[in-house]
Amino acid sequence: MSDRVYIFDTTLRDGEQSPGATMNTQEKIAMAQQLEKLGVDIIEAGFPAASQGDFEAVQAIAASVSKIQVAGLCRAMVPDIDRAWDAVKGAKNPRIHTFIATSDIHMTHKLQKSPDEVLEMTRKAVSHAASLTKNVEWSAEDASRSDWEFLVKITEVAIACGATTVNIPDTVGYTQPFEYYKLIKYLMETVPNASKAIFSVHCHNDLGLAVANTLAAIQAGARQAEVTVSGIGERAGNASLEEVIMALNTRKEMYQIETGVDTEQIFPSCRLLSQIIGQPIPPYKAIVGANAFAHESGIHQDGMLKNPLTYEIMTPRAVGRAGTNIVIGKHSGSHAIKAKVEELGYHLTDEQLAVVFTAVKGLADKKVQLHDEDVEAMVLEKVHRKRDRYRIKDMSVFSGAGDVPPHAAVVMEFVEGDKVIREKQVTKFGVGSVDAVFGCVCELVDVHPTLESYQVSAVTGGTDALAGVSVRIEDHGIRAVGRANDGDVIKASAMAFVNALNRLEKTKEEKREWPSL
Ligand code: KIV
Ligand code: ZN
């Protein structure tokens, strides 16, 4: 059996199903290109039949990468499969990933089909997919709660009809490492044509075991692991890419497994995702959290000084956390900024670079030295925000400590394509200055969402650090996340709020109708 495990990243599909993690197409492309740099083998770009917006995003992602395989997810139904194929076929190496539920509980209550009908649907779906491409993955949704004998039967049919990868997901995060190990081993030993396909695993984290289960399945012989960056995903998330990879690497003598992942791209990938979805990496997160390599206790610090191996099982450099050589300041020229942007994993056009250059120079005039995060924040701010419908043109804020209550004045531009079609302004009082600014913005755009969360953090250290603000809003059941960075915390708050409103608008336009998974 090969000792190479293929890494299938589903950040852009299952990851995007994580509440508040919606990404626009440009952001998905940036993420896909970073995943290519990271060295994963396959990315799942989305669920093309879900909506026109998803279809177009998958198509754009497929065209934006050149080395990795691009999968489109689809239910085991011919029209879904055709839609997925149309979306991914432009990729250099496209894959159709079709799935159907196999557990009694899903077949009876969700699909309302008998096992024989599900078997027949699998036969038809996989045969149809295989008539379009040789690269077909089939998934038995809720496999870990399915009858083992039925799984043997249906997996055999999927392989016989042309599936080259068969995925055995723990859809609801229910299984335990030893049980999952036994299931994968059993299937690989019992399905008569098992050797004709790669066995894949896909684990959810409802009991906090997604990574442990994935590793157990790899020990049992699975040779594809489905993971997401930072473990984002439906409900409690999926198996985290960085944890699976670093377990395989750090304990190589035990697993004896190779992957194509460049571990030094792990931290840049997690940081990019965090910037895009506006959710900070938790400090205690394994591998990539701020505390993952911080040693607080005196005994630990003493040991580290004597020999880092006492308390460090991997180095920060190995996961891409060490600082880099190019330091950006106000004297940096366009070549240095271009090199830094590329080092951070962005491939920008000359026009985009010029915009980022001006923004970075503007920031460098205010700060002595810029950190990588500052430059990255400018890239995301200036390059991924072009198609906003509302933009703040100007604002002034009075916070007040005496009798005059806090108030704000905001001038807002309304944009269509690249043109400003209208300008409106308003002044309002508020409980505090942020409340006053948000009040102005709501009145100007005539949308009054609930502010579900508001988080401020310093992008780097120092009083001159950029403030990173992320907000989550909800309007008539639709949620959107917005984020922004600025040297001024009130301005960053206003921009983040407007960003969330723009995203809300976009989501309303492309309103997703997810088929039930
Ligand atoms: O969790 C799951 O079962 C899935 C499948 C669609 C692969 O995401
Ligand atoms: Zn899943």
Give the pLDDT of residue 302: 77
The CA 10 to ligand 2 mean position distance, Å, reads 8
pLDDT at 498 over 60: yes
CA-CA distance, 444 to 242, in Å (whole number)? 43
pLDDT at 215 over 80: yes
CA-CA distance, 38 to 267, in Å (whole number)? 10
8 Å CB contact between 375 and 341: yes
Q: Hey, which CATH number is domain 6-277, 3.40.1500.10, 3.40.50.720, 3.20.20.70, 1.10.1070.11?
A: 3.20.20.70
User: 130: pLDDT confidence band, cut at 50, 70 and 90?
Assistant: very high
Segment 125-136 shows an average pLDDT of 98
Express as a percent the part of the chain with pLDDT over 70.
Answer: 95
Q: Which atom in ligand 1 lies closest to the alpha carbon of residue 143? A: 3
Q: Which atom in ligand 1 lies closest to the alpha carbon of residue 14? A: 8
Residues within a 6 A CB radius of ligand 1: 14, 99, 139, 141, 167, 169, 171, 202, 204, 517
Tell me the β-bridge partners of 458: 467
Give the pLDDT of residue 336: 87
8 Å CB contact between 235 and 204: yes
Q: What is the pLDDT of residues 253-272, one digit of tens each?
A: 999 999 999 999 999 999 88
pLDDT-wise least confident of 4-13, 227-236, 287-296? 287-296
The CA 19 to ligand 2 mean position distance, Å, reads 14
User: 324: pLDDT confidence band, cut at 50, 70 and 90?
Assistant: low
Q: What is the pLDDT of residues 423-475, one digit of tens each?
A: 999 999 999 999 999 999 999 999 999 999 898 887 666 777 778 888 889 99
The CA 45 to ligand 2 mean position distance, Å, reads 13
Sign of CA dihedral 220, 222, 223, 224: negative
Q: DSSP letters along 176-196, please?
A: -HHHHHHHHHHHHHHSTTGGG
Q: Which atom in ligand 1 lies closest to the alpha carbon of residue 517? A: 6
Q: How far, CA to CA in Å, does 1 sit from each of 135, 221, 256, 514?
A: 20, 8, 12, 38
Beta-carbon count within 10 A of 369 CB:
13
pLDDT at 386 over 60: no
Looking at the CA of 201, which ligand is closest? 1
| Residue among 221, 223, 203 at smallest CA distance from 213 | 203
The CA 263 to ligand 1 mean position distance, Å, reads 26
Mutate to test the pocket of ligand 1, among 171, 201, 213, 516 (most ligand atoms within 8 A of CB): 171
User: 123: pLDDT confidence band, cut at 50, 70 and 90?
Assistant: very high
* Most confidently predicted of 165-179, 300-314, 354-368, 390-404: 165-179
pLDDT at 511 over 60: no
User: 340: pLDDT confidence band, cut at 50, 70 and 90?
Assistant: confident
Q: Which residues surround ligand 2, an ion (CB under 5 A)?
A: 14
The CA 379 to ligand 1 mean position distance, Å, reads 33
User: 298: pLDDT confidence band, cut at 50, 70 and 90?
Assistant: confident
Q: Which atom in ligand 1 lies closest to the alpha carbon of residue 169? A: 3
Closest C-alpha to ligand 1, atom 2: 171
Q: 3-class SS at 339?
A: helix
Averaged confidence pLDDT in the chain: 90
Q: Which atom in ligand 1 lies closest to the alpha carbon of residue 10? A: 8
Mutate to test the pocket of ligand 1, among 10, 13, 14, 214 (most ligand atoms within 8 A of CB): 14
pLDDT at 308 over 90: no
pLDDT at 517 over 50: no
Q: What is the pLDDT of residues 27-78, one digit of tens each?
A: 899 999 999 999 999 999 999 999 998 999 999 999 999 999 999 999 999 9
Mutate to test the pocket of ligand 1, among 141, 204, 232 (most ligand atoms within 8 A of CB): 141
Give the pLDDT of residue 283: 84
For the chain, the domains span 6-277, 334-382, 390-513
CATH 3.30.160.270 at 390-513, yes or no: yes
pLDDT at 418 over 80: no
The CA 258 to ligand 2 mean position distance, Å, reads 24
